A = this chain, B = another copy of it.
Amino acid sequence: MQHPSIMEPFYLTKEPYYQPVGAEAVLFKAAYESKRPVLIKGPTGCGKSRFVAYMAYHLKRPLITVACHEDLTASDLVGRYLLQGDETVWADGPLALAVKHGAICYLDEIVEARKDTTVVIHPLTDDRRILPIEKKGEIVPASDDFMLVISYNPGYQSVLKDLKQSTRQRFIALEFNYPPRATEIQIVAREAAISEEVARRLVGIGEKVRNLKNHGLEEGVSTRLLIYAGQLIGKGIPPHRACAAAIADAMTDDAEMHRTLMEIVRSFFE
């Protein structure tokens, strides 16, 4: 590792709060040790990013996260030439940084990115484990500690935003879902700093709302929104008002669905 100082901001300095719910940590560690990339699938706000941070902390690796979007190109990941004074100077992108310095590179919502970015990761995800930097005519072998992790929400799957089989079949995949009830209650109570009783009601609302998925709701409610509702309640906002702001208004613009959501809320906080 040549310039460890460059990596400093990417080390996690305290353990992220994460509750393992299955074999995900064991599988992730086995993939890391086998030098295989990992694909994490699951709905919005179920803890995918938190899990990656948790694993980075325990594997003692810096974590470089890139939120992918429609305009993210291969150059954004690999690097580009910048004009500096009299010369063009090469600036490594986040993926090149991770490859060289043995970081975990986490490409969040990979299917949102431009197609060239998904293909650029191919040579890093087979036995070659190399990053060709075409603009420099260079081939960078990945550090032994480098790991690529990508995430993907199958609920958004569409023809245009699908992960190609030639990409998928390069990853060990972990399927995520909302945490089980007891775990989620613990999480909501702890993160919102509220009583277990209030957290239990909020998680109850969460479960009922998630049943509405594909019955008019595009996606279930995230643990994050339940925590928001809890925080507002903790600030003294009446529960139904807190849930309106953090859950019903946040999730839908449809008057009918809004009413349904608020009925669920009232059945827990009458």
Tell which of B23, B26, B45, B231 touches A34, judged by Cβ atoms closer than 8 Å: B231
Please state if B94 and A232 are interface contacts (CB–CB under 8 Å). Answer: no
Chain B residues with Cβ below 8 Å from A132 are 65-67
Closest residue of chain B to A27 (Cβ to Cβ) is B245
Residue picked from A67, A120, A224, most chain B C-beta under 10 Å: A67
Tell which of B67, B94, B119, B169 touches A44, judged by Cβ atoms closer than 8 Å: B169
Closest residue of chain B to A253 (Cβ to Cβ) is B154
Residues 6 to 31 of chain A near chain B (Cβ within 8 Å): 6, 9-10, 23, 26-27, 30-31
Oligomeric state, in number of copies?
6
Residues 45 to 71 of chain A near chain B (Cβ within 8 Å): 45, 49-50, 65-71
Please state if B71 and A71 are interface contacts (CB–CB under 8 Å). Answer: no
Q: How many residues does chain A have at the interface if contact means C-beta atoms less than 8 Å apart?
A: 94
Decide if the interface of chain A is mainly helix, strand, loop or mixed. Answer: mixed
| Separation of A170 and B30 alpha carbons in the complex (Å) | 32
Please state if A72 and B235 are interface contacts (CB–CB under 8 Å). Answer: no
Chain B residues with Cβ below 8 Å from A222 are 169
Tell me, yes or no, whether A139 is within 8 Å of chain B by CB: yes
Please state if B44 and A166 are interface contacts (CB–CB under 8 Å). Answer: yes
Tell me, yes or no, whether A85 is within 8 Å of chain B by CB: yes
Tell me, yes or no, whether A196 is within 8 Å of chain B by CB: no
Tell which of B23, B45, B236 touches A166, judged by Cβ atoms closer than 8 Å: B45
| Separation of A130 and B7 alpha carbons in the complex (Å) | 16
| Separation of A120 and B9 alpha carbons in the complex (Å) | 19
Please state if B169 and A115 are interface contacts (CB–CB under 8 Å). Answer: no
Tell me, yes or no, whether A251 is within 8 Å of chain B by CB: yes
Tell which of B36, B122, B231, B232 touches A228, judged by Cβ atoms closer than 8 Å: B36
Tell me, yes or no, whether A73 is within 8 Å of chain B by CB: yes
Interface digits, A149-174 against B, CB 8 Å rule (1 contact, 0 not)? Answer: 00001101100000011101111111
Task: Write 15 A-B pairs (CB below 8 A) sorted by A numbering.
Answer: A6-B137, A10-B139, A36-B228, A44-B169, A45-B166, A65-B132, A66-B134, A67-B120, A70-B116, A71-B73, A76-B134, A94-B137, A156-B166, A168-B250, A172-B232
Interface contacts beyond A34-B231, A83-B88, A173-B246: sample of 16 additional A-B pairs, CB < 8 Å, sorted by A: A10-B139, A26-B237, A30-B232, A34-B235, A49-B126, A67-B122, A70-B114, A71-B74, A83-B83, A86-B86, A108-B122, A153-B166, A169-B224, A169-B251, A171-B250, A172-B228
